[in-house]
Structure 1
Amino acid sequence: MQQSSTRVGRVPALFASALATDPVRPLLTYYDDATGERTELSAEALAEWVARTANLLVHGCGLGIGARAAVLLPPHWQTAAVLLGTWSAGVSVSFHGTATAGLPRLGPGVEEPFDVTYAALGRIDDWLDHVPEAEHRFVLGYAPDAAPLAEPPTGYRDYLTEVRRHDANLRPYVPLRPDDAASVDGTSYADWGRLARGMADEVFDLRPGDRLLVDAAEHEHPVKWLLAPLAAGATVVLCANLDPATVARRSRAERVTRVL
C-alpha cells in the first residue's frame, strides 16, 4: 500500500491526514467497562482538543521545539489529545511506565530535566519516585464526563481546567522537520511515522477504513493504539478494563473489523 511522503513524514501529519479524509466520522471511541463510560470523538472533535493542548504549551507555557515532556498516562482519549497536541507544538515526548518491548527506549532512564509533565491522578502515588521534575506539571483525572478536578494535588495544575482556557484552533508554529526529535531519546518524527506505518502494515495488517478494537491494558504504548491506526487510515475503539464478555457484542455494535 503506497503512502505519500507527507503522510509518513512526521507524526502530526498522521492525524492531519485523518482529519482531511473524513472530519466527522468516529475516529476514536473510548470505553471503560469499570465505569460504563463511552466517549466518541470525530477527527474534528479531537482536533479541537489537540489544538487547545498545543496552544497551552506554546502560548501558556512558552514551550516549543527543543522542549521535553514526560507523559505518565494510560491509553485514553484525553491521552491522545495530550500526545498529538504536544507533538504539534514541537515538544518531544518520553513515555514513562509503558511497555516498550521491540520499540525505541522511551521510558525511565532518560535523563531529566523535563519542561512539562503530564501525570494521571491514579498513578501519581504509584510513580511518586519517578515523576520527573518539571516547571509545568499537569494532572489528568479522567472523569467520565471530562469534569475538571475540584482540587488538584499539590504542585500540579488540572489539565482540563488549563486546556479549556486556550483556543480550539491550531495556530501556525515553526514548521516541524521530519528529522526533528519527536521523543526525548532522539527518535524523529519521520522515524515514528515509519515505525507506525510498518506496524500497521506488517504487524496489524490494517487497511484504510478498518475499525480496530484495542484492549488498552494489553497495548499501552501509543504507537499501537494511536499512531499505527492513524498511519493506516483506520479508526479505533479503545477499551479500558475490558470485559471479555462484551467483545463480540461491542464489535458488532461498533462495526469492528479487527481486534487487537
Structure 2
Amino acid sequence: MGHDLVRPTGMPGAFASALAAHPGRSLLTYHDGATGEHTELSAEALGQWVARTANLLVRGCGLGVGARAAVLLPPHWQTAAVLLGTWSAGVSVSFHGAATAGLPRLGPGVEEPFDVTYAALPRIDDWLDQVPEAHHRFALGLARDAAPLPEPPAGYRDYLTEVRRHDADLRPYVPLRPDDAASVDGTSYADWGRLARELADLFGLRPDDRVLVDAAEHEHPVKWLLAPLAAGASVVLCANLDSHAVRERGAAERVTRVL
C-alpha cells in the first residue's frame, strides 16, 4: 500500500471544513461525570490529534487505502481522534461493540485478521471474544489528562505513546474517492456523509449549535460525532451523565441543543 496520506473527503471532509473555517473554535468538549474529566479541544487541537493518528497508520504502520481497522472504543474525545485520523489515512473502520441498531456495522463472516485494532483498556477483558486478530494492536486507557498506560496489555502498544511520536502535518496528500469504503462492510465515505447529514436534519442541528450528547444514549459515532460535524455544530460529549444535571451542564457549556 502507498505511504502517502489521504485528503479527507465525504464525511471526513466535514471535519476538514470545520478546521479550515474556525480553527480556534471549541469543537469537541468531553465531560465525564464519574471521573470529573473535562477536556476541551478546538478544531485545531483535535486536528493535530487526527493528523498524528493518520501519520501513525501511514508512516508508522505502512497502511493506507484498502487497510481495515477494528475500533472497540466508547464515545470519547480520543475516539474522535482515532476515527477521524483512521479515515483520513483512507483506512476503513469496523465499529465493534458500538450501539449500531439500524446502522451499518461489521457483519458476520468478515475475514480476519484486520490491519489494526484499537481497544479501550477497560473493555479489552470484557470484549475478548470480540477483539479481532490484527497486525497492529493499540490499547487506549482513556485516562484523564491523556496519560499514557504504565504497562500496555501483552500484544498491545499504547496508542498515546505511539501517536505522540508522529508530527501533526497531514501532507502530502493523495486523492481519496467518495465511493471508497469507509467501513469494512463497504459503506462509502459518501454514504456515511449522507447519513450524517440526514441525522443532523432529523435532530434539527444547525451551524454554530453547541450540542450536548449523552454518550450512553448515542454510542454510535455517526450520532455523537459525524452528524454534529455535518451540521457545522460543536459537541459537548458527556459520559456518566446525571439525568438531573443536564440543565446545569447545558448552561455551563452554553449548549443550544440536547440529544
Task: Give the 3-state SS of the residue equivalent to 2:199 in structure 1.
Answer: helix
Task: Give the 3-state SS of the residue equivalent to 1:145 in structure 2.
Answer: helix
Segment drifting more, 19-28 vs 61-70: 19-28
State the match for 1:178 in structure 2. 178
1:180/1:189 contact within 8 Å kept? yes
Count of residues paired in the alignment: 252
Displaced runs of 4 or more, over 4 A: none
Segment drifting more, 106-115 vs 235-244: 106-115
Structure 2: runs of 5+ lacking an equivalent: 1-7
TM-score by length of 2: 0.95
2:9/2:176 contact within 8 Å kept? no
Q: Considering only aligned residues, what root-mean-square deviation do their CA atoms show, in Å?
A: 1.2
1:18/1:43 contact within 8 Å kept? yes
1:95/1:107 contact within 8 Å kept? no
Segment drifting more, 97-106 vs 50-59: 97-106
Are residues 67 and 9 of structure 1, via their aligned partners in 2, closer, same or farther at CA, if it must alter by over 3 Å? Answer: closer
**Aligned-partner Cα distance in 1 for 2:246–2:108:** 34
Deviation string 1:8-38 (CA, Å, 9 cap, x unpaired) is: 9512201011111211111000000000000
State the match for 1:209 in structure 2. 208
- 2:219 alignment partner AA: E
2:64 paired with 1:64: yes
State the match for 1:78 in structure 2. 78
State the match for 2:146 in structure 1. 146
- 1:51 alignment partner AA: A
Counterparts in 2 of 1:158-169, with a 5 A limit? 158-169=158-169
**Aligned-partner Cα distance in 1 for 2:168–2:108:** 33
1:97/1:108 contact within 8 Å kept? no
TM-score by length of 1: 0.94
State the match for 1:132 in structure 2. 132
Structure 1: runs of 5+ lacking an equivalent: 1-7
1:31/1:239 contact within 8 Å kept? yes
**Aligned-partner Cα distance in 1 for 2:63–2:227:** 27
State the match for 1:43 in structure 2. 43
- 1:216 alignment partner AA: A
1:67/1:91 contact within 8 Å kept? yes
State the match for 1:104 in structure 2. 104
- 1:133 alignment partner AA: E
